């Protein structure tokens, strides 16, 4: 009985020591919680050129307000690019992506309840999923055997009618 109690005390002591060591590493030197590492982070100095390069796209000649960002995440690196262009230029641009389906109307989500890990607000833009007059589609380059984009797994497309024959194009890829 005495040996069992002694073994129990040693195991308990080791467990408490491990827990104390783990809790100590979860706090900084001043006792405040440490920032979580390894999560999604925006890559400094990478924007529209890098996103366009990854997706192997060239924005239309008449495109304006070109914005982009790259975010390293838990599993994938996400590339965002957005621009405004004439509706005709945007349609030609989207056709070159070869979506598997026609663009369809997007039902806007409630902006107060909608959250995303890769927010367009990082680029000063509204979330296309929450906006009116938005059409959407997706592209799986490997599925359609698009050799130009062999390293791209998926591209999500949003096109918002901004009026006067212009649209805002949003592309999110990984």
The residues, any chain, with a CB within 8 Å of residue 5's CB and separated by 6 or more, are none
- pLDDT, tens only, 100-138: 899 999 999 998 888 888 889 999 999 999 999 999 999
Burial class (CB in 10 A: 0-12, 13-18, 19+), 41: exposed
Report the candidate in 111, 144, 123, 145 with the shortest Cα–Cα distance to residue 68. Answer: 123
DSSP symbol at 128: G
pTM of the model: 0.76
pLDDT in tens, 32-87: 444 445 578 999 999 999 999 999 999 999 999 999 999 998 889 999 999 999 99
Residue 39's pLDDT is what? Answer: 73
Between CA 9 and CA 15 the distance in angstroms is 10
């Amino acid at each position: 009985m005495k040996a069992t109690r002694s073994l129990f005390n040693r195991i308990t002591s080791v467990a408490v020591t491990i827990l104390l060591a783990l809790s100590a590493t979860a706090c900084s030197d001043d006792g405040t919680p440490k920032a979580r590492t390894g999560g999604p982070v925006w890559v400094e100095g990478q924007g529209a050129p890098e996103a366009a390069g990854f997706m192997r796209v060239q924005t239309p000649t008449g495109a304006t307000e070109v914005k982009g960002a790259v975010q390293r995440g838990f599993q994938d690196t996400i590339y965002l690019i957005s621009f405004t262009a004439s509706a005709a230029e945007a349609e030609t641009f989207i056709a070159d992506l070869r979506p598997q389906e026609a663009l369809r109307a997007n039902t806007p989500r409630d902006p107060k309840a909608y959250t995303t890990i890769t927010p367009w607000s990082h680029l000063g833009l509204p979330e296309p999923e929450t906006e009116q007059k938005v059409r959407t589609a997706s592209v799986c380059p490997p599925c359609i055997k698009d050799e130009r984009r062999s390293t791209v797994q998926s591209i999500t497309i949003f096109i918002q009618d901004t009026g006067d024959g212009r649209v805002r194009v949003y592309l999110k890829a990984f």
